[in-house]
């Protein structure tokens, strides 16, 4: 099977309003160029699933008015401090946060990739999280007495959205060591990927790349986007732009500042009121 090769705007157009969208953490393959295209398009009502967290991408989308719900173990931008637009939205009650944990998010996605309704976990039992989630059910181990298990319902995203170093023209995508991206692609109904470059040849034919390659079977569409993860860094290709990230944090502390920043990032786009 061959994934569609699209331009960036056409790729973003594949994400409908209200979609459940799985996104990776800042240290993985975050599709920031596609994120700006989504904001420019004015997508609304997204349910973001952080795998297992989201950071700058989630904050941009919240600031752009694109998000209704975030389901994640955390919304974190690390040493840069609290995520400013997420924090403001939570204080205002503008978005809903569904608290998870790293193992729970991964278990839900693993259930979906295996075609199962749930997977069991134990470590959350007794916590406030387990009490507050009506989609997690406490049950009994059928193979042992007095052994409770927590059943984590499958997470089946409509879209997995991420950035990678390269893809070939058949739609195979090389992700290297970032295995959470493979999980996202297996679990989601559609997988949309931006890449630094589209190369000739077959990434699955080369033993040096095959183990870190998602087969085209799991990839719906690809768009080439050079430096598509900036101002974050992409492993072994370019580092984060610390000055740009810190400038974002300073500007995004207020709604007006965020809108000014967004207007600079999208000079031809109309920023929704």
pLDDT in tens, 129-165: 888 888 999 999 999 999 999 999 999 999 999 999 9
210 in Cβ contact with 168 (< 8 Å):
no
Spell out the domain ranges in the chain.
Answer: 4-103+155-259, 118-153
205 CB neighbour count, 10 Å cutoff: 11
209 CB neighbour count, 10 Å cutoff: 20
Q: What pTM does this model have?
A: 0.95
86 in Cβ contact with 70 (< 8 Å):
yes
42 CB neighbour count, 10 Å cutoff: 14
Note the pLDDT of residue 131: 84
Torsion of CA 228, 230, 232, 235, to 10 degrees: 60
Percent of the chain with pLDDT over 70: 97
What are the residues whose beta carbons fall under 8 Å from the beta carbon of 208, sequence distance 6 or more? none
Spell 136-174 as b/e; 16+ CB within 10 A means b: beeeeeeeeeeeebbbbbbbbbbbbbbbbbbbbeebbbb
Tokens of 263: 């207007």
Residue 271: pLDDT over 80? no
DSSP-assigned letters across all residues of the chain: ---EEE-HHHHHTTS-TT-EEEE--TTS---HHHHHHHHHHT---EEEEESSEE-HHHHHHHHTT-EEEEEESEE--GGG-S-HHHHHHHHHT-SEEEE--HHHHHHHHHHHHTT-SEEEE-TTTTSHHHHH-TTEEEEE-TTSTT-EEEEEEP---SEEEEEEEEEETTS-EE-TT-HHHHHHHHHSSEEEEEEEEEESS-TTT-HHHHTTEE-GGG--EEEE-TTTTTTS-BTTTB---HHHHHHHHHHTTSHHHHHHHHHHH-TTSPPP-
Residue owning tokens 């768009």: 223
Residue 8: pLDDT over 90? yes
Question: How far is it, in rounded angstroms, from Cα 28 to Cα 232?
Answer: 10
pLDDT band at 44 (very low <50, low <70, confident <90, very high): very high
pLDDT band at 50 (very low <50, low <70, confident <90, very high): very high
Note the pLDDT of residue 2: 76
CATH number of 4-103+155-259: 3.40.1080.10
Question: How far is it, in rounded angstroms, from Cα 206 to Cα 106?
Answer: 29
């Amino acid at each position: 099977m061959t994934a569609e090769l699209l331009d960036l705007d056409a790729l973003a157009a594949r994400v409908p309003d209200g979609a459940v969208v799985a996104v990776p953490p800042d240290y993985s393959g975050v599709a920031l160029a596609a994120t700006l295209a989504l904001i420019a398009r004015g997508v609304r009502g997204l349910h973001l699933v952080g795998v297992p967290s989201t950071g700058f991408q989630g904050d941009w989308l919240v600031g752009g008015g694109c998000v209704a719900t975030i389901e994640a173990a955390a919304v974190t931008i690390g040493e840069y401090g609290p995520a400013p637009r997420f924090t403001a939205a939570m204080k205002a009650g503008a978005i809903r946060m569904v608290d998870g944990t790293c193992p729970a998010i991964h278990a839900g996605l693993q259930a979906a990739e295996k075609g199962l309704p749930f997977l069991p976990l134990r470590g959350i039992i007794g916590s406030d999280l387990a009490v507050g989630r009506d989609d997690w059910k406490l049950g009994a181990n059928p193979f042992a007495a007095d052994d409770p298990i927590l059943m984590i319902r499958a997470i089946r995203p409509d879209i997995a959205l991420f950035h990678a170093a390269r893809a070939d023209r058949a739609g195979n995508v090389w992700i290297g060591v970032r295995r959470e991206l493979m999980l996202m692609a297996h679990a989601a109904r559609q997988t949309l990927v931006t890449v630094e470059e589209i190369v000739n040849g077959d990434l699955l034919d080369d033993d040096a790349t095959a183990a870190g390659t998602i087969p085209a079977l799991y990839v719906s569409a690809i768009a080439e986007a050079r430096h598509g993860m900036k101002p974050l860094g992409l492993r072994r290709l370019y580092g984060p732009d610390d000055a740009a990230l810190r400038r974002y944090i300073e500007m995004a502390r207020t709604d007006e500042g965020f809108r000014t920043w967004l207007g600079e990032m999208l000079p031809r786009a109309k920023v929704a009121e």
